[in-house]
């Protein structure tokens, strides 16, 4: 059984965790590993390389690393890593320290998310988590990008955006002397530890602003689950915000995806892979604008990275069949 | 002529300049002074007190300060100054060093802006400059406030907001591969020194984001004049932004001003006191929602502060007439 003798390795390096998967060329999982967050942009390439090595060693504990014939690493800020010789050297060293002798490719996390949803070479991936970004994929390479501009100038419809808008609605209620609704009450409680409004409501306004500005702006994304939860229960302000967020996300898709396109659209990121009202609203919006596009949800990123490594090997004659085995239809 | 023997002094302390005016109780200007920015929140109370003294000495160079019977200081962050004993002591010392023996009152800049537009005790003031804030005035005191929540969570329709939205529209053009219009071209030139778009437009996107994030976010307000200028020439994107900004500003007024109110509305701040398309759009919006409200424009803040000091004196029997002399209808 020669094919069981060779394997590919895939890594998905994210801000909160690093995951590694070792697969045979027929899609059998030989090992997996997990380590801490290793995004080189936020953590530094050296720290990222340490997590990379930890995840690789765990994944390869039952398999001879010399038999791995190809590897792919997916991570946010892949372009920056490739442009940084010291960072690249740290990754090379971790790769060798894990006993791997094959070359490896580095791809952006958006491409890996795309590949975890479809084997089609061309399509669109829309990711909404803390931030929001859309990419066109051509021949399984990232082509054009929309948004991903960061919280100050973009990320419309993201977790940051939902959190900020929820606070803005709360402040408008306090200004106007309106009784806060369910969402505003939840936001107030999360930020101030109590939903009580001072006899002079401007004091509560000031306390709310201070509670937000004490932290980094991007931390507003921590409030997004409150919006998602309130919308799940039909709260009107939250529902309106979800609708608006979905429109923003679909608008960013429309910047780079042709009208009438029939290639797949893959939804990724924590806000769109879970069964949230935002995911549902985005599906409706995408289906309205691109009625013939297959809609997919991103899955296991490490397995997708391993698939990207495997598909170019001459032994893998039917990459789509391998993808179907790795990501069975739900 | 006993009334010429007594005077009042008014000060308008702003972020970029401090202005002082000495007036007789009949509205004759006896002196004026100017010094650097002295907002105690941004510059510290001690520095503000130095500018205060400079402006006072210049204004009082031809008049015996002992004959000043009342004074008013208008400044942003008045409440914070009053709550800070050291800051208050620095202001007291400057007041004495200028030779003044009378007491003085401290009011928020929004109240002074209001009083520079009308003598009516009750009304609304809407200010849009770098930020945006609305206040209800009751018996010539600030009552309820709307917005003024700062750039991260509010200031909708302000100079910051216009600048940020202009960059967002530019980034959307670059994402979509649209040829930038007049406003987007002006923003690109301001930020990057050239309107040339890289062969890989994402490089221009990244350079634009970096040019913005190198500075403090509030510096986005520096782009507002580009929007105002483009809208003056009928540029469609700028015109749409101005319309949206006016709607935001009117919405914040609506949070605290009763439907059908007939008290005056005073427009203040650099974006609304100049003859800008935003001022025109706000006038239309306010007139639509409050058709019977007199619309006024803020004028000389130091004179308004002096008027606030004078109006409570027993010698001033007709404060409205004094106001009319100080601020003749245009």
Closest CA to B9 of B23, B27, B19: B23
Q: Nearest-CA residue of chain A relative to B254?
A: A176
Residues A174-177: contacts with CB under 8 Å, at least 24 apart: A174/A201, A174/A202, A174/A204, A174/A205, A174/A208, A175/A201, A175/A205, A175/B144, A175/B145, A175/B146, A175/B147, A175/B252, A175/B255, A175/B256, A176/B146, A176/B255, A176/B256, A177/A201, A177/B144
Cα dist from A142 to A13, A120, A134, A146, A212, whole Å: 17, 13, 10, 11, 35
Confirm if B159 and A170 have CB atoms less than 8 A apart: no
Helical axes B182-192 vs B201-213, angle rounded to 10°: 60
Q: In angstroms, rounded to a whole number, what is the distance separating the alpha carbons of residues B263 and B257? A: 10
Q: In angstroms, rounded to a whole number, what is the distance separating the alpha carbons of residues A107 and A73? A: 6
Q: In angstroms, rounded to a whole number, what is the distance separating the alpha carbons of residues B246 and B158? A: 9
Confirm if A300 and A21 have CB atoms less than 8 A apart: yes
* CB within 8 Å: A167 and B146: no
**Could you give the residue ranges of the DSSP H alpha helices within B116-269?**
159-176, 182-192, 201-213, 224-232, 236-256
Q: Which residues pair with B21 in a beta bridge?
A: B10, B32
Q: In angstroms, rounded to a whole number, what is the distance separating the alpha carbons of residues B7 and A54? A: 79
Query: Would you call A135 exposed, middle or buried from its count of C-beta atoms within 10 A (0-12, 13-18, 19+)?
Result: buried
Question: Measured between CB atoms, which of A147, A167, A176 is closest to B256?
Answer: A176
Mutate to test the interface with B, among A124, A150, A152 (most CBs of B within 10 A): A152
Tally of CB atoms within 10 A around A61: 11
Structure tokens at B295: 């619309």
Structure tokens at B268: 């203040």
Size of interface A-B (CB pairs under 8 A): 68
Q: In angstroms, rounded to a whole number, what is the distance separating the alpha carbons of residues A7 and A67? A: 6
CATH code matching the domain that covers A2-116+299-326, chosen among 3.30.420.40, 3.40.50.1860, 1.20.58.220, 1.10.1050.10: 3.30.420.40
B290 SS3 class: coil
Domain spans in chain A, listed from the N-terminal domain onward: 2-116+299-326, 120-298
DSSP A330: -
Confirm if B89 and B52 have CB atoms less than 8 A apart: no
Q: In angstroms, rounded to a whole number, what is the distance separating the alpha carbons of residues B219 and B242? A: 19
Per-residue burial over B133-147, b = 16 or more CB atoms within 10 Å of its CB, e = otherwise: bbbbbeebebebbbb
Tens of pLDDT along chain A (330 residues) come to 444 579 999 999 987 889 999 999 999 999 999 999 877 776 788 888 999 999 999 999 999 999 999 999 999 878 778 788 888 999 999 999 999 999 999 999 999 999 999 999 999 999 999 999 999 999 999 999 999 999 999 999 999 999 999 999 999 999 999 999 999 999 999 999 999 999 999 999 999 999 999 999 999 999 999 999 999 999 999 999 999 999 999 999 999 999 999 999 999 999 999 999 999 999 999 999 999 999 999 999 999 999 999 999 999 999 999 999 999 887
Confirm if B99 and B240 have CB atoms less than 8 A apart: no
Q: In angstroms, rounded to a whole number, what is the distance separating the alpha carbons of residues A147 and B181? A: 19
Mutate to test the interface with B, among A124, A149, A155 (most CBs of B within 10 A): A149
The answer to whether residue B132 neighbours chain A at the CB level (below 8 Å) is no
Tens of pLDDT along chain B (330 residues) come to 444 579 999 999 987 889 999 999 999 999 999 999 877 776 788 888 999 999 999 999 999 999 999 999 999 878 778 788 888 999 999 999 999 999 999 999 999 999 999 999 999 999 999 999 999 999 999 999 999 999 999 999 999 999 999 999 999 999 999 999 999 999 999 999 999 999 999 999 999 999 999 999 999 999 999 999 999 999 999 999 999 999 999 999 999 999 999 999 999 999 999 999 999 999 999 999 999 999 999 999 999 999 999 999 999 999 999 999 999 876
What was the pLDDT predicted at B1? Answer: 42
Q: Which residues pair with A295 in a beta bridge?
A: A265
What was the pLDDT predicted at B237? Answer: 98
Q: In angstroms, rounded to a whole number, what is the distance separating the alpha carbons of residues B74 and B309? A: 11
Q: In angstroms, rounded to a whole number, what is the distance separating the alpha carbons of residues A292 and A123? A: 12
Structure tokens at B284: 């239309």
Alpha-carbon distance B159 to nearest alpha carbon in chain A (angstroms):
15
The answer to whether residue A216 neighbours chain B at the CB level (below 8 Å) is no
Structure tokens at B211: 């040019």
Q: Which residues pair with B22 in a beta bridge?
A: B9, B31
What was the pLDDT predicted at A4? Answer: 52
Per-residue burial over A163-186, b = 16 or more CB atoms within 10 Å of its CB, e = otherwise: bbbbbbbbbbbbbeeeebbbbbbb
pLDDT in tens, A22-54: 999 999 999 999 999 877 776 788 888 999 999
Q: How many residues does chain B have?
A: 330
Confirm if A109 and A131 have CB atoms less than 8 A apart: no
Q: Quote the ipTM score.
A: 0.90
Confirm if A294 and A264 have CB atoms less than 8 A apart: yes
Strands A123-128, A132-138: pairing kind: antiparallel
pLDDT in tens, A48-93: 899 999 999 999 999 999 999 999 999 987 877 878 888 899 999 9
A120-298 and A2-116+299-326 share a CATH fold: yes
Closest CA to B232 of B278, B170, B283: B278
What was the pLDDT predicted at B2? Answer: 44
Sign of CA dihedral B37, B41, B47, B50: positive
Sheet containing B104-108: give its strands across. Answer: B29-36, B17-24, B7-13, B68-75, B104-108
What was the pLDDT predicted at A56? Answer: 97
The answer to whether residue A167 neighbours chain B at the CB level (below 8 Å) is yes
The answer to whether residue B211 neighbours chain A at the CB level (below 8 Å) is no
Closest CA to A21 of A96, A91, A72: A72
Any idea of the CA torsion for A158, A210, A202, B120, to the nearest 10 degrees?
-90
Confirm if A115 and A83 have CB atoms less than 8 A apart: no
Closest CA to A208 of A176, A164, A247, A148: A164
CATH code matching the domain that covers A120-298, chosen among 3.20.20.140, 3.30.70.590, 3.30.420.40, 3.30.980.10: 3.30.420.40
B28 SS3 class: coil
* CB within 8 Å: B175 and A144: yes
* CB within 8 Å: A209 and B149: yes
Closest CA to A56 of A7, A18, A104, A24: A18
The answer to whether residue A173 neighbours chain B at the CB level (below 8 Å) is no
Q: Nearest-CA residue of chain A relative to B215?
A: A152
Tell the residue number behind the tokens 């809609």, with chain if given: A295
Confirm if B75 and B88 have CB atoms less than 8 A apart: no
Residues of A within 8 A of B209 (CB-CB) are 149-150, 153
Q: In angstroms, rounded to a whole number, what is the distance separating the alpha carbons of residues A76 and A308? A: 16
Sheet containing A104-108: give its strands across. Answer: A29-36, A17-24, A7-13, A68-75, A104-108
């Amino acid at each position: 059984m020669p094919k069981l003798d060779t394997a590919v390795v895939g890594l998905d390096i994210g801000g909160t965790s690093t995951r590694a998967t070792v697969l045979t060329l027929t899609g059998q999982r030989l090992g997996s590993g997990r380590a801490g967050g290793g995004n080189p942009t936020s953590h530094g390439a050296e720290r990222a390389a340490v997590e990379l090595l930890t995840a690789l060693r765990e994944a390869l504990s039952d398999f001879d690393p010399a038999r791995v014939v190809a590897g792919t690493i997916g991570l946010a800020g892949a372009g920056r890593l490739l442009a940084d010789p010291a960072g690249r050297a740290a990754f090379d060293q971790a790769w060798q320290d894990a006993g791997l002798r094959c070359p490896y490719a580095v791809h952006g996390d958006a491409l890996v998310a795309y590949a975890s949803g479809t084997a089609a070479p061309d399509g669109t991936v829309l990711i909404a988590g803390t931030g929001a970004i859309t990419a066109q994929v051509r021949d399984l390479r990232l082509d054009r990008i929309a948004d991903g501009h960061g919280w100050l100038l973009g990320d419309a419809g993201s977790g940051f955006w939902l959190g900020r808008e929820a606070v803005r609605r709360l402040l408008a209620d306090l200004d106007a002397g309106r009784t806060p609704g369910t969402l505003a009450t939840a936001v107030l409680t999360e930020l101030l530890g109590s939903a009580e409004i001072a006899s002079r409501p401007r004091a509560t306004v000031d306390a709310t602003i201070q509670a937000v500005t004490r932290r980094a702006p991007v931390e507003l994304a921590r409030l997004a689950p409150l919006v998602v939860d309130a919308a799940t229960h039909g709260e009107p302000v939250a529902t309106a915000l979800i609708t608006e967020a979905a429109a923003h996300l679909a608008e960013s898709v429309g910047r780079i995806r042709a009208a009438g396109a029939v290639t797949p659209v893959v939804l990724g990121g924590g806000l769109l892979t879970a069964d949230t009202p935002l995911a549902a609203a985005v599906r409706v919006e995408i289906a309205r604008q691109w009625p013939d596009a297959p809609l997919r949800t991103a899955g296991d990123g490490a397995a997708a990275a391993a698939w990207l490594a495997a598909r170019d090997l001459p032994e893998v004659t039917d990459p789509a069949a391998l993808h179907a085995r790795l990501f069975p239809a739900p």
